[in-house]
């Protein structure tokens, strides 16, 4: 059973088909070229029961490149796929969930869409850490320049240039 509660799931509610789909990526903000798990949970909207024996197709796209996972069997309402995001940016994850009868005829089918943000990272660091570090460096440089200017003015004052 997938634990989506830890991963801040996004919800897709299909009232026509009485289906609730929850989606979460692990980690929440995937890292470029490191495997991320895209987790789905499919429930009956009214009862909350996990839907069984479904078939899924997942497409991950950034608008230019696309990757698809097909024929994913969902025996108990939960499934996940692993994907390496090749670049930073916002990705769209499309999930097609089919409910088929024993003759492979469609009972229903739902097309859902979720967004995943892959932040900018340098040498494995997070963008937030990098931004804070850069800010601190800039502050330090400004501080050093200010001290230098102040000393210079003090010296000039001592020699009576003003």
Partner 1 sequence: MACTKNAYFTGWKIALILIKMLGKPSHSSRKSDHYYVNSLLICCIIAILVVQPPSLVALWTEKYDAYGDGLAQEQISSSLGNRKADLLIKMTPSVVTNETLQKGQNPLMEFRLSDSNTDQSFSHVTYYITMEKDGKVLLSNWFHAHDGNLVLKIRPNPQNNASGSSNSTDNTSTKPSKVSIKGQQEPLIGSYIGTVKNPVIVIGPVFSNSGLYHFKVRIATVDSDTGVLPADQQRTYDSWFSIGNAIYQKIYMDGKELPIKLVSYYDILMTLALIIRI
The minimum distance between CB 101 and partner 1, in angstroms, equals 9
What number of other Cβ atoms are within 10 A of residue 152's Cβ? Answer: 10
**Of these, 8, 47, 73, 104, which contacts partner 1 (CB under 8 A)?**
104
Nearer to partner 1 among residue 99 and residue 121 (C-beta): 99
Residue of 32, 44, 50, 96 that binds partner 1 (CB under 8 A): 96
Distance between CA 91 and CA 119 in Å, rounded? 11
The Cα angle at residue 77 between residues 72 and 81, in degrees rounded to 5: 40
Q: Is 106 in the site for partner 1 (CB under 8 A)?
A: yes
Using CB under 8 A as the binding rule, whether residue 12 contacts partner 1 is answered as yes
Angle at alpha carbon of residue 38, lines to 31 and 67, rounded to 5°: 85
List the alpha helices (DSSP H) in the chain: 127-158
115 belongs to the binding site for partner 1 (CB under 8 A): no
Position among 31, 32, 59, 72 found at the interface with partner 1 (CB under 8 A): 59
Strand blocks (E) in 29-128:
35-44, 54-61, 66-74, 78-84, 89-100, 106-118
Backbone CA torsion sign across 152, 154, 158, 162 = positive
For partner 1, the binding residue among 5, 53, 61, 135 (CB under 8 A) is: 61
Q: Output the smallest distance, CB 85 to partner 1, in A.
A: 16
Contacts of 129 (CB under 8 A, 6+ apart): none
| Residue 111 binding partner 1, by CB under 8 A | yes
Is residue 70 near partner 1 by the rule CB under 8 A? yes
Catalog residues that contact partner 1 under the rule CB under 8 A. 12-16, 57, 59, 61, 63, 66, 68, 70, 92, 94, 96, 103-107, 109, 111-113
């Amino acid at each position: 059973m997938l634990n989506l509660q830890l991963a801040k799931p996004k919800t897709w509610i299909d009232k026509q088909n009485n289906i609730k789909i929850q989606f979460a990526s692990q980690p929440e903000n995937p890292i470029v070229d490191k495997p991320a798990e895209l987790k789905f949970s499919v429930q009956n909207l009214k009862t909350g029961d996990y839907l069984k024996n479904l078939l899924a197709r997942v497409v991950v796209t950034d608008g230019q490149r696309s990757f698809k996972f097909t024929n994913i069997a969902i025996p108990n309402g939960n499934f996940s796929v692993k994907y390496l995001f090749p670049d930073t940016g916002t990705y769209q994850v499309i999930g097609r969930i089919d409910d088929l009868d024993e003759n492979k005829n469609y009972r229903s089918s739902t097309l859902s869409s979720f967004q995943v943000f892959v932040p900018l990272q340098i040498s494995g660091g997070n963008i937030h850490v990098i931004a804070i570090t850069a800010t601190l460096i800039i502050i330090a440089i400004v501080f050093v320049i200010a001290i230098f200017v102040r000393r210079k003015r003090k010296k000039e004052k001592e020699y009576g240039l003003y």
